[in-house]
Amino acid sequence: MGIEALYPKKKLSTASLEDKKYPYLLKDLAIIEPDEVWSADITYIRMNKGFLYLVAIINWYSRYVLAWELSNTLDTDFCLRALDKALLISHPQIFNSDQGSQFTSGDFTEKLEKTGIQISRDGVTAKVKKCIRL
């Protein structure tokens, strides 16, 4: 019948085979100035019925949240809205994210590339703690 429980599924940040691959640029990188690296991630907020999804974009140097958006669906649009808000503030040299479909979408990567921002993607073995902040 196609009935399925509503809960966050495992491996939502696994890249699809069609997605363009980007390297992890943050290994052993010393982040010493603002807007050198931004990062984004999505978290699930459990509600009485279902979930809300929160995307936040942070500046790694200051840990300042540049922009955030809430959505009741895991579409790409709310991530693009957050990116647009953040880009009104400044532009990073590198934008790092996981390989979730929202961040690997053509619309999201195209916006970063057109702005001249290098794209970095976490892989299975990439760990945030490998990045050094002075």
Q: pLDDT for 37-61, tens place per residue?
A: 999 999 999 999 999 999 999 999 9
Tell me, yes or no, whether 19 lies in a domain: no
Domain extent, residue 92, equals 30-133
CB 14 within 8 A of CB 99: yes
Distance CA 123, CA 41 (A): 14
Domain count, the chain: 1
Residue 19, exposed/middle/buried by CB under 10 A (0-12, 13-18, 19+)?
middle
CB 69 within 8 A of CB 83: no
pLDDT by residue (tens digit) across 55-71? 999 999 999 999 999 99
- CATH number, domain at 120? 3.30.420.10
SS3 96: strand
- Residue 21: other Cβ atoms inside 10 A: 11
pTM recorded for the entire structure: 0.79
Tell me, yes or no, whether 47 lies in a domain: yes
pLDDT of residue 67: 98
Distance CA 64, CA 2 (A): 43
Strand partners, 83: none
CB 94 within 8 A of CB 36: yes
Tell me, yes or no, whether 104 lies in a domain: yes
pLDDT by residue (tens digit) across 101-112? 999 999 999 999
Tell me, yes or no, whether 98 lies in a domain: yes
